[in-house]
Amino acid sequence: MGIPVFAIILFVSAAMATITISSNAHPLDPLSAAEIAAVRTAVLASPLVPARPLYFHYVGLDEPDKPDVLSYAASPTTNLPRRAFVIARAGGQTHEFTVNIATTTSSNASASVLSHAIHRGPGFPMFADIDQISAGALPAQYPPFVESVRRRGLDVDSCLVFDNATANIYARPVEGVVMVVDLDRMVIIGYRDRAAYVVPKAEGTDYRAERVGPAAAPGVVVQPEGRGFRIEDGHFVSAEALSPRRAMTKEIEEMGIQAVDPLLRSRCGQTNRSRA
């Protein structure tokens, strides 16, 4: 008696799922887009932080202990638990979450919150894009700043970044003004105008090569024997005796600064603040 076609299809599907799980991400690989989405959903669904809006300042891999990773490297048949560490801001407090991730395929994941704590020590989460954009919109509506701009012979509408006057925008600052912004309430809580400096003119501030003189001869780097390294699976870098893994996370580290280690990672980048 032959095996029904649907049974064969189910068997192949199960085999593919098994292959996907068994070839899951390395324990030190960064979170995938599906995993990040699942973590976000789990945090927002958690009753531990009902305050809204909730800002995600950091979502990244909660790295397993090195002995566990060494055990995995010796026998990579069993995947280590995937967990995420989350830093969020809501209700005037900094919240830290540990989230467990169940990844079934590269595009499908689920997550659940394992722990939650309120950060009561010094410091705040990383300054994010939305902080800068929102805070940067405050001065134009702040009367003391409008008056400071007027004293310098300008108007608020001209206190923007334009590239039509000069490429060197930092050569024409509105100096002497200091503001302090409460990022939770998004209001200006401190203001000081210590001196009304004249804004420099745009002339003579463009130092690009094509503007200041003949362009220098281009430099050329040649590697006759090839680039000397290879990248596998998007994260594994092999270069002579070094075999680090790279990921985009909040820290900035140099590649290979420690002794040669097959589990060494090079990490760089930053995380933007998202609102929910």
The CATH code belonging to domain 129-212 is 3.10.450.40
Q: What is the pLDDT of residue 7?
A: 38
Residue pair 76/55 in contact by the 8 Å Cβ criterion: no
pLDDT tens figures, 203-223: 877 777 777 777 777 788 888
Q: What is the pLDDT of residue 249?
A: 57
Q: What is the pLDDT of residue 262?
A: 36
pLDDT, mean over the chain: 78
Confidence of residue 243 (pLDDT cuts 50, 70, 90): low
- Which carries the bigger pLDDT value, residue 113 or residue 171? 113
Q: Name the residue ranges covered by the structural domains of the chain.
A: 22-121, 129-212, 230-268
The CATH code belonging to domain 22-121 is 3.10.450.40
Q: What is the pLDDT of residue 24?
A: 55
Provide the H-helix boundaries in 104-245: 129-136, 143-151, 209-212
Q: What is the pLDDT of residue 270?
A: 33
Is the pLDDT score of 182 beyond 60? yes
d(CA 208, CA 206): 6
Tell me what the mean pLDDT of segment 34-52 comes to: 95
Confidence of residue 3 (pLDDT cuts 50, 70, 90): very low
Q: What is the pLDDT of residue 263?
A: 36
Is the pLDDT score of 259 beyond 60? no
pLDDT tens figures, 135-159: 999 999 999 999 999 988 888 887 7
Q: What is the pLDDT of residue 165?
A: 60
Is the pLDDT score of 80 beyond 80? yes
How distant, in Å, are the alpha carbons of 82, 206, 209 from that of 87?
Answer: 17, 42, 44
Residues near 192 by Cβ (< 8 Å), separated by ≥ 6?
Answer: 177, 178, 179
